[in-house]
Amino acid sequence: MSSFKLEIVTPTEINEIENVSYVRCPGTDGSFGIMKGHREAVITLGIGEIKITETGKDSYYATSGGFAEISKEKVQFLLETVEESKDIDLDRAKSSIQRSNDRLSKKQETDISRARLSLIKALNRLKVSSR
């Protein structure tokens, strides 16, 4: 099976993954997949799960969004945050869910849209951690 190189860039690190045969991403308009020979594109990513198949093995990541840049040479993700499922701190995710729910219950004391976004991110991290 044909493979390609994936580069994941965040504000704090750059990770390169070789021999990727498939990636599933959370696009803002719905999930989409990337395989070798994909048409060149820049696609907006939303909060969700990234699935990466590398040499026949799947790994899962939680992201809070960014961009996918697909070229003939490689695929590059420019992400706000990314965490591999095995590295997600469950206690931190659960605490974030609780804090967000507490803020949402006190509507007059908080920025509702920020609290909802925080809740969505924490729920995604919790979901991906079970992979």
Residue 1 reports pLDDT greater than 70: no
Instruction: Provide the pLDDT for residue 130.
Output: 85
97 and 80 in one domain? Answer: no
95 and 79 in one domain? Answer: no
- The Cα 111–Cα 13 span in angstroms is 30
Q: 62, 116, 51, 52: which is closest to 90 by C-alpha?
A: 62
Residue 123 belongs to domain with CATH number: 1.20.5
Greatest mean pLDDT range, 45-59, 80-94, 107-121 = 45-59
pTM over 0.75: yes
Residue found by looking up tokens 């924490």 in the block: 122
Tens of pLDDT, residue by residue over 22-63, are 999 999 999 999 999 999 999 999 999 999 999 889 999 999
Instruction: Provide the pLDDT for residue 101.
Output: 87
Q: Which of 55, 70, 85 is the last residue of a domain?
A: 85
50 and 22 in one domain? Answer: yes
Residue 61 belongs to domain with CATH number: 2.60.15.10
Query: pLDDT category, 109, cuts 50, 70, 90?
Result: low
105 and 61 in one domain? Answer: no
70 and 32 in one domain? Answer: yes
Residue 116 and residue 97 in contact, taking contact as beta carbons nearer than 8 Å: no
Q: 18, 8, 5, 11: which is closest to 77 by C-alpha?
A: 8
- The residue among 17 and 102 whose pLDDT is bigger is 17
Residue 112 reports pLDDT greater than 90: no
Instruction: Provide the pLDDT for residue 111.
Output: 78
Q: Which two tokens stand for residue 129?
A: 């951690």
- The Cα 106–Cα 82 span in angstroms is 30
The domain of 112 spans 88-129
